Chains A and B, each alone.
Chain A
């Protein structure tokens, strides 16, 4: 009998090994998403939308219907698909640049309108595909290509706290959480809750996943975990920010 790797059933085997860098957190977030799709048995109903940035490398990642859109426009495209065919389960997958910088207007408006979609945002604190420039989520004092002496909050301002903002503007049925790839089971549970929330048609679901970027952080494996688990988790506390009423989080 042929032994295959332990890969989620919804992954597209033809495109593996995937295109992300060694040590990239995207693989882990997509592994969690793949396992959740398998467990919920919704592979034939999911539409997966990816954004510009490193997240677009996931365009052939899954054996589900996929669409790749312009910067930050994944959210409205997914809203359109959901409104045209409410039977489908849509996942808007984007990075922090797509979701919080150029696509923040779409994220804010979709959250305010309480559209019944799931947004999965991967936060690695930089613009990774263009070479590691400062992003809205770059932490104070963090060194990037465009902040070589560390991000100075007096000049460049403070980082964006996504789930805090989204939980403030959404309605009661919304689900908002922040997970981390260092806590894989928790992250998977959050993604599952978010998809379940959409399937129950309660409201907007948003999960931010803290992720790694060894290539642009210029870290080895040990420092990658340390940066994610210590510095990033201090700035961005993981947890559930909003759970639908009548449902324990």
Chain B
């Protein structure tokens, strides 16, 4: 994998009980995750993905770490870690 693909931005969500990671080197900005999110917690980010399109960022207040976005991402650009 190109080294750029393993860089990520992370954010604590779900009252600090989970970490939402997005890998901009994998995200193509298709938006499928935003539509599937049951809490409407994802919005477009300032960071650009591999094709120069916006990546997504999770709202820490709304995100419940249900991992649906992780499941529907065709590029595996989202990784949610519960702790």
Q: Which residues of A contact B (CB under 8 A)?
A: 2-8, 11, 13-14, 16-18, 20-28, 31, 184-185, 212, 214, 220-222, 224-225
Pick the contact of A22: B5, B8, B28 (CB < 8 A). Answer: B28
In the complex formed, the residue of B with least CB distance to A18 is B75
Interface set, chain B 57-82, CB cutoff 8 A to A:
70-77, 79
Most chain A Cβ neighbours within 10 Å, of B36, B74, B77: B74
B35 x A222 contact (CB < 8 A): yes
Interface centre among A7, A14, A16 (most CB of B within 10 A): A16
Report Cα–Cα, A25/B72, bound state, in Å: 9
Q: How far is the CB of A40 from chain B (nearest CB, A)?
A: 19
User: Which of A2, A24, A185: most chain B Cβ within 10 A?
Assistant: A24
Q: When the two chains form their complex, are residues B32 and A23 in contact, meaning their CB atoms are under 8 A apart?
A: yes
| A188 nearest in chain B by CB position | B71
Q: In the assembly, what is the distance between CA of A18 and CA of B9, in Å? A: 20
Which single residue of chain A is at the shortest CB-CB distance from B26?
A: A17
What size tier do the contact residues of chain B reach?
20 to 34
If A17-B28, A221-B31 touch, whether A3 touches B21 (CB-CB below 8 Å) is yes
**A95–B75 Cα gap in the complex (Å)?**
19
Q: Which residue of B34, B51, B77 contacts A221 across the interface (Cβ within 8 Å)?
A: B34
Q: A7-B76, A13-B1 are in contact. List 6 more A-B contacts (CB 8 A).
A: A5-B23, A16-B1, A17-B5, A21-B28, A22-B53, A185-B71
By beta carbon, the residue of chain A nearest B19 is: A3
* Pair A22/B30 contact, Cβ less than 8 Å: yes
A5-B79 in contact (CB<8A): yes
